[in-house]
Amino acid sequence: MSSTATLSGLALSPGGVVTMVGMFVVGRLGFIQPKYLIAAGALVVAPAMHDLTRIDADLDFGFFAWSRVYVAIGLPLLFIPVTTSSYIGLPPGKTDEASALINVARNFGGSIGVSLAQTVLARREQFHRSRLSEHVGAWNPIY
């Protein structure tokens, strides 16, 4: 796959537009309980993320663009209700502290998630490399 920075940006741009429009739409759905919006978002994002497990070097521009759009449809359904429901029941004077705590928790959780994903990736890479190297030797006719 020969991809330039421009082509990569063009593949991601439709998802950004869909997310931006989705934020406005989900913001207008305040009459629906947040738990239903979160469930709908999870039902949209889960198969979209599963679809991304098929990524390989031979995929075309359309796959990446549409995969990003599918994920972008569900993201506003997840983030907006989670953020708004975290302020429910707070007195108006405490929203500043709540906002700070929510942002710290989101950043901390994101850092933990990235660290866990990197650890799993490194360990799986080590496992598969050791499995492959078991079969490399002068005795193996394929090698």
- pLDDT tens sequence across 31-88: 999 999 999 999 999 999 998 888 888 888 888 899 999 999 999 999 999 988 888 8
Residue 114 sits in the same domain as residue 79: no
Q: Which is more confidently placed, 132 or 26?
A: 26
Task: With residue 39 as reference, give the H or E element that holds it.
Answer: helix 34-51
Same domain, 61 and 35: yes
pLDDT reported for residue 143: 64
d(CA 85, CA 37): 11
What is residue 103's predicted lDDT score, i.e. its pLDDT? 93
Mean pLDDT within 96-104: 93
Q: CA 90, CA 110: separation in Å to the nearest integer?
A: 25
Q: Quick one: which of 57, 79, 62 has its CA closest to 15?
A: 62
- Number of domains the chain is built from: 2
Q: Specify whether the CB–CB gap between 75 and 41 falls below 8 A.
A: yes
Amino acid at 88: I
7 pLDDT above the threshold of 70: yes
CA distance 63 to 71: 12
Q: What is the pLDDT of residues 103-138, one digit of tens each?
A: 999 999 999 999 999 999 999 999 999 988 887 777
DSSP assigned state of 115? H
Q: Which residue has the higher pLDDT, 7 or 26?
A: 26
Based on the domain organization, do 71 and 20 belong to the same domain?
Answer: yes
Domain boundary among 68, 85, 102: 85
In this prediction, residue 49 carries a pLDDT of 92
Can you give the residue range of the structural domain that contains 35?
Answer: 1-85
